[in-house]
Chains A and B, each alone.
Chain A
Amino acid sequence: MKRLVLTIFVLSTLFVTAGFAQNLTVGFTVSKTGALNVDSLEQYRGFELWRDQVNAAGGIKAGGKNYKIQFVSYDDESNTKRVQQLYSRMVLQDNADFLFSPYSSSLTATAAIVTEQYGKIMLTTGAAEGKTYTLGNHYLFQMFTPGAEYLKGTLDALKAKDPKATIALVYEDASFSVAVVNPAKAYAQQLGLNVVFTEAYAPNTTDFSAIIDKVIASKAAVLLGGGHYADGSTLAKQLYEHKVPLKMITLLVAPDSDKWTELGDSAVGVMVPSQWEPQTAFKAQYGLSGADFAKAYTAKYNAPPSYESAGGYACGLVLQRAIEQAGGPDTAKVAAALNATDITTFYGRTKFSTAANEHGLQIGHAMVLAQWQKDKSGLVKQVVWPLAAKSANLVYPIH
């Protein structure tokens, strides 16, 4: 009798545990080391905050069950070869149910080959290049506005402020920056703006003297480009040290980081196309508000969130909603729910293309343009474009 009672107790415990708290494994790599370290860490914090909040609330509730989130993640060393090995490992050995992308377009393009091969859903964030979505993928979903849109806001603002300004395009020779700059060049020509200098630099460049001399010789008034944090921050610092008389500087990604303030005077006036800023007050249909996100993030990490952090959190939020809509973690059902997603969260609108030639491409989300400006409290990042979303006027010229 005792044995029977014990058996019933153990079985019922297992049943209850299984019913109320199954685990879902989400895999991804983080660039804990290497050139992408700064941006990747901020993205990771977004993932982490989402996981902690979901689990604290009892997990994702879907189909009458609760699913707690557990992460499996590794350091990809900002290296595509490591990404290939590690995403295979997470699928085959760690049995990840879903995957998030690494940081950056080039690492994500590599990870996507692996996840598609094994039919695993991967939500991508920190990866704006659009080409990957034209390759016939079925389980890849992009959270970031595609690269072609990044510099449109800057060019629109320049057209409004100084349509005769001459432009230099100086950018990292990497898939993301190329995907941003090539359409921007075409858009500048469409607006009648004059691009007088274009040059790509190697991703590990630290000495920009030669390129800066060329920018000065071209008499460009505006510099657009950059790539990621390491090169972008170095370029801004050296432009300042060489006293290049630029009226406007817009760099990709790097100025969005809170670490940008460490550049001191080199940081002032520099703009960044941003996927999200705390000032952009979207009315969330799902999940927490922007103010609550910023508050929770700042409390946890003692630093304000960047758009990489917001993208990371939103990535989790959109996956969470899709699992809820699908009634569980079944890949086909969750993929169908993601295909049907058209939702506004604190991060803005999210909608994925379902067209065969660009499946998974982000088509709902819009960007803003932010500028580092000085006020009484020091350096502050302000939204300056579009005008409807601005928190301060665009400072032009910066020198």
Chain B
Amino acid sequence: MSGIFASMIDGLLIGAVYGLAAMGLSLIWGVMDVINLTHGATIALGMFGMYILFSAFPVNAYLLLIPIIAAGLLLGLLIYWISVHWVIDRPQLASLLSTFAVNMMIIGIGTAIWSTSPYNVNFTLPGITVGAYTFTGNHMAAASAAVIIALALELFLYRTRMGKAIRAVADNREAAELMGVSSTMVLALAFAIGISLAASSGALVSTLFPFTILSGASYQMKSFVVTVLAGLGRPFGALVAGVLLGLLEGAVTPFIAVSWIPLIEFGLFVVVLVLFPRGIFGRATA
């Protein structure tokens, strides 16, 4: 197997996790027009959630995603009522600032509890070796889990009454309310799902790499890139864009130093914003 092929497979696997992280941001942004700056902090909380649960119950770490998704929903509802509900009809800057404030609170409390020292989830699944290259079991499991969660969300949005309500509110909140949809409940649920997606992506990342309470920041930045690539309001598009971003990373790293990757990513971010302001998949209705 050639180096570039192996590198692209690695990129594809981690790209699915980037995609899952971005889905949460994309859903909230698309449905509520809120740029959720607690995104990175909740990714980090997902990492520590996995660490705590795995320390207490050393079973297959990927089974622990279920309680983390549930806890993420509850946390999302809490953050919604604390920082978003009261400012949702105000200019976008208000929700930006209020979510930033909650982000700082989470980081501050997290630093007090866990410091900023690195933690690990010591769980390893056997990998697959092809020629000189080995693809770790954890990367494959994390990518598979990300795709399953993304598909479940897609089914929820397009096959359930509540999912339809979320898409209706995203399209036209007033019209949805006239049709008897409780927009407050729908917005709270959409926010909770977004936070839960962020937390579950953090939990997956924690099975791959060491992390600190500050680790969510870099995934938040990648989530912005992926969300802009995908366009707003179509979470599954974010998963595809995440995979594409991972593939791009994998394709270019054999030829340039890894430290140049952020420059390429953010260069792409600017190019897409200028040439495709609605994202490469266009703005779909949620």
Please tell me if A85 contacts chain B, counting CB pairs below 8 Å: no
Stretch at the interface among A27-35, A116-124, A127-135: A27-35
**Residues of B with C-beta under 8 A to A77:** 116
Please tell me if B209 contacts chain A, counting CB pairs below 8 Å: yes
- Pairwise interchain contact A200-B3, C-beta atoms closer than 8 A: no
Please tell me if B254 contacts chain A, counting CB pairs below 8 Å: yes
Q: Mark B1-35, 1 if CB is under 8 A from A, else 0.
A: 01100110011001000000000000000000000
**Residues of B with C-beta under 8 A to A37:** 115-117
Task: Decide: A210 near B210, CB < 8 A? Known: A230-B118, A241-B124, A241-B127.
Answer: no
- Pairwise interchain contact A214-B136, C-beta atoms closer than 8 A: no
Q: Mark A220-241, 1 if CB is under 8 A from B, else 0.
A: 0000000000100110000001
Stretch at the interface among A201-209, A278-286, A326-334: A201-209
Q: Which residue of B lies closest to A173 (CB)?
A: B259
Q: B133's contact among A32, A211, A234, A242, by CB below 8 Å, is which?
A: A242
- Pairwise interchain contact A214-B254, C-beta atoms closer than 8 A: yes
Looking at A32, A202, A210, the one whose CB has the most chain B CB atoms below 10 A away is A210
- Pairwise interchain contact A33-B258, C-beta atoms closer than 8 A: no
- Pairwise interchain contact A202-B115, C-beta atoms closer than 8 A: no
Q: Mark A33-57, 1 if CB is under 8 A from B, else 0.
A: 1110110000000000000000000
- Pairwise interchain contact B14-A202, C-beta atoms closer than 8 A: no
Please tell me if A292 contacts chain B, counting CB pairs below 8 Å: no
Please tell me if B257 contacts chain A, counting CB pairs below 8 Å: yes
Q: Mark A1-43, 1 if CB is under 8 A from B, else 0.
A: 0000000000000000000000000000000111101100000
Q: Tell me the bound Cα distance from A216 to B259 in angstroms.
A: 19
Q: Mark B189-217, 1 if CB is under 8 A from A, else 0.
A: 00000000000000000001111100100
Looking at B3, B139, B218, the one whose CB has the most chain A CB atoms below 10 A away is B3
- Pairwise interchain contact B117-A217, C-beta atoms closer than 8 A: no
Query: Interface residue count for B (Cβ, 8 Å)?
Result: 36
**Residues of B with C-beta under 8 A to A199:** 257-258
Q: Tell me the bound Cα distance from A34 to B139 in angstroms.
A: 26
Please tell me if A89 contacts chain B, counting CB pairs below 8 Å: no
Please tell me if A213 contacts chain B, counting CB pairs below 8 Å: yes
Q: Tell me the bound Cα distance from A33 to B218 in angstroms.
A: 19
Task: Decide: A200 near B134, CB < 8 A? Known: A37-B115, A206-B211, A216-B6.
Answer: no
- Pairwise interchain contact B253-A33, C-beta atoms closer than 8 A: no
**Residues of B with C-beta under 8 A to A202:** 258-259
**Residues of A with C-beta under 8 A to B210:** 206, 230, 233-234
Task: Decide: A234 near B116, CB < 8 A? Known: A200-B259, A210-B10, A216-B133.
Answer: no
Please tell me if A364 contacts chain B, counting CB pairs below 8 Å: no
Q: Which residue of A lies closest to B8 (CB)?
A: A213
- Pairwise interchain contact B132-A245, C-beta atoms closer than 8 A: yes
Task: Decide: A210 near B129, CB < 8 A? Known: A34-B116, A230-B118.
Answer: no
Please tell me if B72 contacts chain A, counting CB pairs below 8 Å: no
Q: Tell me the bound Cα distance from A37 to B212 in angstroms.
A: 12
**Residues of B with C-beta under 8 A to A207:** 14, 208-209
Please tell me if A399 contacts chain B, counting CB pairs below 8 Å: no
Please tell me if A243 contacts chain B, counting CB pairs below 8 Å: yes
Q: Mark B151-182, 1 if CB is under 8 A from A, else 0.
A: 00000000000000000000000000000000
Q: Tell me the bound Cα distance from A37 to B115 in angstroms.
A: 10
**Residues of A with C-beta under 8 A to B3:** 213-214, 216-217
Q: A210's contact among B124, B136, B211, B258, by CB below 8 Å, is which?
A: B258
Q: In angstroms, how far is the closest chain A Cβ from the Cβ of B243? A: 15
Task: Decide: A242 near B134, CB < 8 A? Known: A210-B7, A211-B258.
Answer: yes
Q: Mark A248-266, 1 if CB is under 8 A from B, else 0.
A: 0000000000000000000
Q: In angstroms, how far is the closest chain B Cβ from the Cβ of A363? A: 34
Q: In angstroms, how far is the closest chain B Cβ from the Cβ of A83? A: 15
Q: Which residue of B lies closest to A38 (CB)?
A: B117
Q: Which residue of A lies closest to B218 (CB)?
A: A204
**Residues of A with C-beta under 8 A to B111:** 33
Q: Mark A73-89, 1 if CB is under 8 A from B, else 0.
A: 00001100000000000
**Residues of B with C-beta under 8 A to A217:** 2-3, 254
**Residues of A with C-beta under 8 A to B14:** 207, 209
Q: Tell me the bound Cα distance from A33 to B133 in angstroms.
A: 36
- Pairwise interchain contact B115-A32, C-beta atoms closer than 8 A: yes
**Residues of B with C-beta under 8 A to A78:** 116
**Residues of A with C-beta under 8 A to B127:** 241-243
- Pairwise interchain contact A241-B134, C-beta atoms closer than 8 A: yes
Q: Tell me the bound Cα distance from A176 to B210 in angstroms.
A: 22
- Pairwise interchain contact B116-A33, C-beta atoms closer than 8 A: yes
- Pairwise interchain contact B254-A213, C-beta atoms closer than 8 A: yes
**Interface hits, B234-260 → A, CB 8 Å:** 249-250, 253-254, 257-259
**Residues of B with C-beta under 8 A to A211:** 258
- Pairwise interchain contact B259-A210, C-beta atoms closer than 8 A: no
Q: Can you identify 9 A-B contacts, CB atoms within 8 angstroms? A: A32-B115, A206-B209, A206-B210, A209-B139, A210-B253, A213-B7, A214-B254, A243-B129, A243-B134
Interface, chain A (partner B; CB < 8 A): 32-35, 37-38, 77-78, 173, 199-202, 204-207, 209-211, 213-214, 216-217, 230, 233-234, 241-243, 245
Closest 7 CB pairs of A and B: A217-B3, A206-B209, A210-B253, A33-B115, A209-B10, A37-B117, A33-B116
